[in-house]
Structure 1
Amino acid sequence: MKTTPNVSTLIYDVGMNTGQDTDYYLKRGFNVVAFEADPNNVGFCRQRFADEIENGRLKIVEGAITENRTSGGFPEKVKFYQNMDHPLWGSTSEDFAARNEVLGTTNNVIEVDAVDFRECLEEYGIPYYLKADIVGDEILCLRALREFQNKPEYISIRSEKVIFKKLKKEFKLLEELGYDRFKAVQQDVTDWHINFQDLPGVSIDYIFEEGASGPFGEDSPGDWKKKDDVINEYRRIFKFYWLFGDYSYLIQTEKGKEFIAQLERFARRPLPGWYDTHAKHSSALD
């Protein structure tokens, strides 16, 4: 097992998109290693964060995280479904690409560099916090951590929202990695804000951008719970997924889409939205 050290000043932003989360992490005073497969997003972020890249606070790893194939070793390139309507929905997953088409968006299939997440952990160190939102492949980051003695104090992943058994496997793997406190956090960050002091001690009221993951660690909303309690919470959430989610009968018809849209206008929030699972390691202090 590798003994790569923890780096308390470092955050991994896996699924950088246009930098919605990276911006927040940098303003909180952390250094960031950000991973992004969509070349359009990478180009945008290289301009947006040019100063932080130049002074060494931000490293962008361009490409899609993948694993060794059963035969043939680690690939050099992987197929990436670039979503032309919603950049957040880009993915290497054929299932998610098909879902995106059902929802009326267009995929552009390109090849991007393959990224070995294990090598990045060795090179840059184990982060204080790992955010993984790469639309279907978050589990790859968790599996890579199996090979390392040290773990991030906090993790958040975009949770499975179709097959409940897959969700339970995510929790099983998190538990194997030493995580013992959890939250299910709905990712409707519209009008979310947080007050903190920057490095010079100036108070900042930060408003999260659309598409951001929101606060992390002890700042994330809700109380830490045991695994079984959060899994039971997800049982309720999955009922809404089955009724109104991406693979529900309603979403596949125009009348159904309009019905869901009316409910969302009434509720003033997405139905059912999507959720991130936040996890706290057993070694983290209370």
Structure 2
Amino acid sequence: MEQDLVFDIGLNNGDDAAYYLHLGYRVVGIEANPLLADQCTRRFENDIKQGRMTVINAGVLEKPGVFTFYRNLLSDGWSSFEPGKRRQAGEWEEIDISCITTPQLIAEHGKPFFMKVDIEGSDLQTLQSLTPATAPPYVSLELNFGDPTIERLIELGYSAFKFVDGETYWHTPPIFDHQIGWRLLRKAGCLSPFVRNAISSLPQRFRAKSEWNPPGKYSPDHYPFTNSHSGPFGEQAAGSWMKPAAALRWLEDLNNYYRRAGKEPSFWWDVHARHSSVHS
């Protein structure tokens, strides 16, 4: 295992890669969109020359080959190998992209310490060809409604999990319009700094709503995250690690929480997982 190596699968504009480089890691960034791959090659020219950054224009799927990529012409973040993503707003074009598997990446570059995956609906495919022996110590993936992502991670030997809001990187859900009690408490907090400070000082398990988090994105090292980042990872990700059974219950509760609010399945959360081979 390469202790200083990160795989950034779904490189996009390179903001996450820049964060990992900032932390001192070497980064292999994989991006299916050729325009974004070219953009990142220019952005990280010096890091590439120094051997700290590698940019690969390819997709990462369950099987290798050439597959149709649906490039959204209005929002790069909605481009995907999943045909259903075409229904999202904006114009798109079909392009053929060469794809590789995660084991192929590992064979060429080594097993990374951390692997970030954000490839719009195809995240689970990056896990399908892995084995417990090749699974990276830490991973993060975007949750896709209906995908057995947690179950697959458990099969691969991951034994600890965190869930974070993709917009704020906190592990607490928002207050919705139908939650009268929470809304009244939030209103009281707005009117009385004493009430808000009292609630904010409680442990997360008691306050457990994102409105009581400090303003802005969760950033333990004060890195200036933007909306195009995925946030901290591994031990630095917000929240406490959950065992597999607790993680499955928590995810079911989260789905039900958003369903009752009429928001499911459109919510954006990431899962962070730690492999059982890591000594906590």
TM-score under structure 2 length normalisation? 0.77
The match for 2:172 is none
5+ unaligned residues in a row in structure 1: which ranges?
Answer: 1-5, 69-73, 197-204, 248-271
Cα gap change, 1:244 to 1:88, in 2 (>3 Å): farther
Question: What is the alpha-carbon distance in structure 2 between the residues aligned to residue 96 and residue 84 of structure 1?
Answer: 13
* Correspondence 1:253-264 to 2 at 5 A: none
Q: Which of 212, 233, 244 pairs up with 1:227?
A: 244
For the residue of structure 2 that corresponds to 1:224, the secondary structure is coil
Q: Is the 8 A contact 1:20 1:210 kept in 2?
A: no
Deviation at 1:171, TM superposition (A): 1.6
The match for 1:206 is 223
Question: What is the alpha-carbon distance in structure 2 between the residues aligned to residue 118 and residue 218 of structure 1?
Answer: 25
The match for 1:151 is 135
Deviation at 1:160, TM superposition (A): 1.7
For the residue of structure 2 that corresponds to 1:138, the secondary structure is coil
Q: Which of 146, 151, 155 pairs up with 1:176?
A: 155
Deviates more, 1:137-146 or 1:10-19: 137-146
The match for 1:250 is none
The match for 2:70 is 81
Q: Is the 8 A contact 1:193 1:207 kept in 2?
A: no
Cα gap change, 1:116 to 1:152, in 2 (>3 Å): closer
Q: Which of 16, 23, 45 pairs up with 1:21?
A: 16
Q: Which of 12, 37, 61 pairs up with 1:66?
A: 61
5+ unaligned residues in a row in structure 2: which ranges?
Answer: 170-215
Q: Which of 96, 103, 108 pairs up with 2:85?
A: 96
Cα gap change, 1:56 to 1:244, in 2 (>3 Å): farther
Q: Is the 8 A contact 1:208 1:214 kept in 2?
A: yes
The match for 1:202 is none
Question: What is the alpha-carbon distance in structure 1 between the residues aligned to residue 81 and residue 257 of structure 2?
Answer: 26
**What amino acid sits opposite 2:127 in the alignment?**
L
Q: Is the 8 A contact 2:159 2:273 kept in 1?
A: yes
Deviation at 1:189, TM superposition (A): 3.4
Question: What is the alpha-carbon distance in structure 2 between the residues aligned to residue 159 and residue 97 of structure 1?
Answer: 19
Question: What is the alpha-carbon distance in structure 2 between the residues aligned to residue 193 and residue 66 of structure 1?
Answer: 30
Question: What is the alpha-carbon distance in structure 2 between the residues aligned to residue 227 and residue 110 of structure 1?
Answer: 39
Does 1:285 pair with 2:279? yes
Question: What is the alpha-carbon distance in structure 1 between the residues aligned to residue 53 and residue 230 of structure 2?
Answer: 18
Question: What is the alpha-carbon distance in structure 2 between the residues aligned to residue 209 and residue 187 of structure 1?
Answer: 11
Q: Is the 8 A contact 2:14 2:40 kept in 1?
A: yes
Cα gap change, 1:89 to 1:244, in 2 (>3 Å): farther
Deviation at 1:53, TM superposition (A): 0.9
Question: What is the alpha-carbon distance in structure 2 between the residues aligned to residue 116 and residue 215 of structure 1?
Answer: 25
Question: What is the alpha-carbon distance in structure 1 between the residues aligned to residue 167 and residue 237 of structure 2?
Answer: 13
The match for 1:8 is 3
User: Alignment length, in residue pairs?
Assistant: 233
The match for 1:52 is 47
**What amino acid sits opposite 2:279 in the alignment?**
L
For the residue of structure 1 that corresponds to 2:90, the secondary structure is coil
Percent of paired sites with the same residue: 29
**What amino acid sits opposite 1:178 in the alignment?**
G
* Correspondence 1:132-147 to 2 at 5 A: 132-146=117-131
Deviation at 1:245, TM superposition (A): 4.0
Deviation at 1:241, TM superposition (A): 4.6
Q: Is the 8 A contact 2:255 2:264 kept in 1?
A: no
**What amino acid sits opposite 2:102 in the alignment?**
F
Q: More strand per residue: 1 or 2?
A: 1
* Correspondence 1:185-204 to 2 at 5 A: 185-189=164-168, 191-192=216-217, 194=219, 196=221
Question: What is the alpha-carbon distance in structure 2 between the residues aligned to residue 244 and residue 112 of structure 1?
Answer: 36
Question: What is the alpha-carbon distance in structure 2 between the residues aligned to residue 280 and residue 107 of structure 1?
Answer: 36
Question: What is the alpha-carbon distance in structure 1 between the residues aligned to residue 154 and residue 16 of structure 2?
Answer: 26
Deviation at 1:19, TM superposition (A): 0.7
For the residue of structure 2 that corresponds to 1:185, the secondary structure is strand
For the residue of structure 1 that corresponds to 2:274, the secondary structure is strand
